[in-house]
Structure formats: structure tokens, C-alpha cells
């Protein structure tokens, strides 16, 4: 039971714990994005639209297929050091 509980918790904590430097990519249309790899070949991708001033997070499966996407609070995302220079409208 303890193993299952630890596995369950790790599924929620691992995506938010990263020590590797992440590069934020910039598109010509004001869209910025950064990919955070975790658990084998799965990834989380933050996307920031600096024109509309909205932020999203999406989950990618191993083949690069998006299987979930939702809007996130840009103020909270700006707490990550790599996004402070991008999210400037707060």
C-alpha cells in the first residue's frame, strides 16, 4: 500500500520538480513556449501569448501528442525564473 501511495504522489510531484535549465523559445507572433521533460518521454509545455496575455500548460505523451491543455495563472508562472522576462504585463 505504501508503494502505491508513493507512486500516486510522484505522478503529481515529479512534473513540478526540475533542476535542469529550461530554454524559453520565442515565435515571431508573440508566442513563447518551453518544454519540461519528466517521467520517461512525457513532457509538460508552458505556452505564453504575450499579445492576448494568457498562459497555458499542456501535457504531451511520448510521441509528442497533446493529451491535455488548460489555462494557468500567468502570475504564478512568472514565479519561475525563466518566465520573468516574458510575463511583463503583471
> What percentage of the chain carries pLDDT values higher than 70?
76
Query: Are residues 80 and 63 in contact, defined by beta-carbon separation less than 8 angstroms?
Result: no
At 78, the pLDDT band (50, 70, 90 cuts) reads very high
Q: Does the pLDDT of residue 11 top 80, yes or no? A: no
With a CB cutoff of 8 Å and minimum separation 6, the contacts of 25 are 32, 33, 34
CA distances from 59 to 3, 5, 45 (A): 25, 22, 6
The C-alpha cell at 48 is 505564453
47 vs 43, more confident: 47
62 vs 35, more confident: 35
The C-alpha cell at 52 is 492576448
List, in sequence order, every residue forming a beta bridge with 49; answer none if it has no partner: 31, 54
Q: Is the pTM of this model over 0.85?
A: no
Amino acid at each position: 500500500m505504501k508503494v502505491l501511495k508513493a507512486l500516486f504522489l510522484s505522478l503529481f510531484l515529479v512534473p513540478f520538480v526540475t533542476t535542469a535549465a529550461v530554454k524559453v523559445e520565442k515565435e515571431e507572433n508573440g508566442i513563447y513556449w518551453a518544454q519540461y521533460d519528466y517521467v520517461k518521454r512525457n513532457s509538460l509545455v508552458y505556452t505564453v501569448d504575450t499579445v492576448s496575455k494568457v498562459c497555458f500548460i499542456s501535457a504531451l505523451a511520448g510521441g509528442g501528442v497533446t493529451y491535455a491543455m488548460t489555462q494557468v495563472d500567468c502570475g504564478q508562472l512568472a514565479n519561475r525564473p525563466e518566465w520573468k522576462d516574458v510575463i511583463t504585463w503583471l
